[in-house]
Structure 1
Amino acid sequence: MGRYPLIAIIKENEDKENVIYSFGPDIHSCEKYPQRYRRWNFKVLKNETNPDEAFVLLDDMPDKHISLLYKCMHKVYVHVKENGGMENMTNIDFPEYLEFIV
């Protein structure tokens, strides 16, 4: 197992233009160890067809954790790709919850 506990990607909000996800250690771990774990947010722009511009980090995040951001974005990107692709994002049902172990 890696350095983190279970990583959870949770849909916080969705409208016709964006999906906002929080990500990081599961909420239980963050509540139990607030001095050690934290969650951050990123946005998926539904009208963007370039993956480099469709995903936007919304919080300041230490550089040492940036690989976690990319892993979370990749999980959502794979879902998008499997369900119609970037060109069809406005019609995709974005998942409420994804998880993985680092």
Structure 2
Amino acid sequence: MTDTARPFRTALLISLMNPKAILFFVSFFIQFVDPGYAHPGLSFIILGIIVQVCSVLYLSMLIFGGAHLARAFRRRRKLAAGATGSVGGLFIGFGVKLAGATLG
């Protein structure tokens, strides 16, 4: 196995063995499975595949969008500095609001 495949395999194994995720999907999907259907396991598998396809599409958009933003910030140092300052100001504002809420 290559070094790049090892983290993926480890993450996949951890995800598949996560009892919270398994219990969530079983309890959520049960609403959409007809108990009179001859193969209810097939319904669970199809619903799981649909969720995984949606997840892959969503996460792929996040990855490619994040990579595009990272390239833009690397090319424009002033934009990166402005964004960093804006986020810092936002966190300072949250801190002031939180301090005011707890003291007042």
TM-score by length of 2: 0.26
Structure (1/2) with the larger strand percentage: 1
Structure (1/2) with the larger helix percentage: 2
Larger Rg: 2
Bigger RCO of structures 1 and 2 (CA < 8 A, at least 6 apart)? 1
TM-score by length of 1: 0.27
